[in-house]
Amino acid sequence: MLDKLKPVQFESVMAISKTVEWLREHLETRKDCLLVMDCRAQELYESSHVETAINVAIPSLMLRRLKKGNLSIKSLLSNGEDRERFARRCKTDTIVLYDEYSREWNENVDGGSVLGLLLKRMKDEGYKAFYLEGGFSKFQAEFPAQCETNLDGSFNSSSPTAQVLGLGGLRISSDSSDIESDIDRDPSSATDSDGSPLSNPQPSFPVEILPHLYLGCAKDSTNLDILEEFGIKYILNVTPNLPNMFENAGEFKYKQIPISDHWSQNLSQFFPEAIGFIDEARGQKCGVLVHCLAGISRSVTVTVAYLMQKLNLSMNDAYDIVKMKKSNISPNFNFMGQLLDFERTLGLKSPCDNRVGDPHTTSVLHHPHQPQRLPAGPSGVHVRQRHHHPLTGSEV
């Protein structure tokens, strides 16, 4: 009986690990039943990696969201073919994860690393996941022929993404096509933490974030009934190629920010004019709709930036407010890095008194059809704040 009360632990190191010899043998004989995942920084992966391995490295900024289950594993794979391959085979193939050394793994010590979080998450979800004993360094030393190496060293670790985050362990889609590269490209592609589709991934109306500030998708911007219902007269279009549908009618004021959802794009340069445009609308008590293709990445980034500046909120707090209103948001990692830089520019930190409580203790301007409200905070945000320690997350 007492054994049932003990914390669940893996049976042994061997139960969650594979040797380099095992991996070499399976690469030669059973490659089609094997998924190898490299959890190192991108520049290390680009320099050399186990053959067939796909890179899944994220900055510490996003580890908290992965740990909370707010990111699906599939969403961490920027390459479309890698995502498709993982989605198709993750529940049937043997998955081997490695970092540089991958020595004896301890759940209590290593649970905060990318490899540790992924391994635990995959085990919890029933995947046949293991880590590689000795990691890449041991595998490369013993079996260099099974490694793919970039001999010319041409990988550019000073890419815009690395500069923004100060980390090389971030992979963003290289596809610059607005329709194809955007994770907010298709509302039906939204997934929950296990990668399965959300039952209601996107509301059928724009979401009210603050009084007169609405976050929505391209479809909302073309629906006159919706625009009239919410009193929207200003439309901020955060795409390079979607049309301003009613621009010639004279009833709406438009601003277009020509940004694709791509790691090379500098969205933060447009923050001042976007914030000014939103302020102009709200100052006249007119509704303003911020949209991109489906309201998940670019428009969310602009909305979070607005909350940060106007409400003096940290990036995490502003993000959480928007997340509570629209659960399927997913700005690309580069835009999150730009928001982090914006936080520094504003002189913001993540102090205890800025933490917004969880969805059960925080109410942020419900949709007009959900009128319940709490006493208003700054700029009309109706919140009941609790103070949390910035590291532990516990109340203080």
Report yes or no: 209 and 282 within 8 Å, Cβ to Cβ: no
Report yes or no: 38 and 169 within 8 Å, Cβ to Cβ: no
Report yes or no: 368 and 230 within 8 Å, Cβ to Cβ: yes
Please confirm, yes or no, whether 292 is among the known catalytic residues: yes
Q: Please, what is the end-to-end C-alpha distance for the chain in angstroms?
A: 36
The token pair that represents 134 in the structure block? 């000795």
Phi and psi for 49 in degrees, rounded to 5? -155, 165
| DSSP string for residues in 311-380 | HT--HHHHHHHHHHH-TT----HHHHHHHHHHHHHTT----GGG----TTT------TTS-----B-GGG
The amino acid occupying position 272 is: P
Per annotation, catalytic residue among 39, 90, 217, 292: 292
Angle between helix 271-283 and helix 298-311 axes, rounded to 10 deg: 70
* Strand residue runs (E) in the chain: 17-18, 34-38, 48-50, 54-55, 94-98, 128-132, 147-149, 207-210, 213-216, 232-237, 253-256, 287-291
383 CB neighbour count, 10 Å cutoff = 21
Q: Which single residue is written with the structure tokens 């969403």?
A: 75
Phi and psi for 80 in degrees, rounded to 5? -60, -40
Instruction: List, by residue number, the catalytic residues.
Output: 292
